[in-house]
Amino acid sequence: MKCPQRMAGDRRTHRKATAKDVAVAAGVSPATVDRVLNGRGGVAPDKARRVLEYARLLRLDRSLDRWPAKTLRIVLLIQSGDNPFHAALRAALNEAEDVRLLFDLQGFVHSVDPNDAKATAHHIRSFGEAYDGLIVVCPDRAEIADAIRSVAARRPVVTLATDLPGSGRQAYVGPDDRRSGRVAGDLMGRFLGPGGGAILVIAGLFSMTGQRERLDGFAEVLTDRYPACRIVDVVESRELAERAGTLAAGALLNTPGIRGLYNASVGSRTVADAIAGAGRTGDVVFITHELTTDRRRLLQEGRIDAVIDQDPVNEMKVALRTMAMLLGRANGEALDVPTGLHIHMRENG
């Protein structure tokens, strides 16, 4: 509904706007305006955003230049700190204190098991009742998507780092993982050179949208540009670091001709150890993602050739700003936000 215009010379030009004027302009009831302006909650995010925008436009109250005093509770659902990237996301939530304070958001973290979709779905439904917004990093499983769909009908849900596109979430913040995979494939092809060779690919979970897209992008580039490079196997670590190392060791033993190894998830230390155990350090090209402290060390030691990083601190700040938009505490439309990527090698790791 369009905001009513004030005509020149109209006696009402200087009349102070009321909550009823805001309700008419925003297309909501006066009771809804009252709930939003007094921070009582219980209002759908899109309605709350419209109320605040029209209240500022009509200059209902100069105090509206400040956000409501009520602190809103946001929960981040991620894997345990045993996963280095998810540990980095936990740290990023603390480092994003400036954004949380700006929009008066309080952040909480809850660990979920990526291999237990039923339990994760239960947590999502439960937290949908207890928190004002959810940021989730979860596999794309039917049970999880259904739970997000039910929560997103009444609470804002933002997917972070890996998307669940059919879940009804309001926004995705994270990298273009197909592009990340293509970068990894291009690096692998260039490292191996015209002779190419056999490549082992290790995924964490095939049900992680981001990892599937990485694998697809990786394979696409090899097929298009480096026909001498061939993927001999794609295996799943189930997000278990030790399993990743075991899979790598077995493949190097049973397929001696492997010249490249692409690990799209956890376990870079155990994979590097497997390569060393096979006496292949410096001979097998090893490419992975996420510049954690341990992977930086492996990179500097020459045990990893390249790391493609997505900057978790920036992702978390963008996710919180997006959540603030969905909650009506920041102006603008909450859209999917593709974040950048950075290539790190031994000289800049």
pLDDT range class, residue 40, cuts 50, 70, 90 = low
Three-class DSSP category at 255: coil
pTM over 0.75: yes
Burial of 321 (0-12, 13-18, 19+ CB in 10 A): buried
pLDDT at 305: 98
Residues linked to residue 307 through DSSP beta bridges, in sequence order: 288, 344
Q: Please, what sign has the CA dihedral across residues 182, 143, 234, 88?
A: positive
Q: Is residue 160 pLDDT above 90, yes or no?
A: yes
Interval 295-314: pLDDT, tens: 999 999 999 999 999 999 99
The stretch 210-229 carries a mean pLDDT of 97
Interval 170-200: pLDDT, tens: 999 999 999 999 999 999 999 999 999 999 9
Burial of 280 (0-12, 13-18, 19+ CB in 10 A): middle
Q: What are phi and psi of 251, to 5 degrees?
A: -65, -40
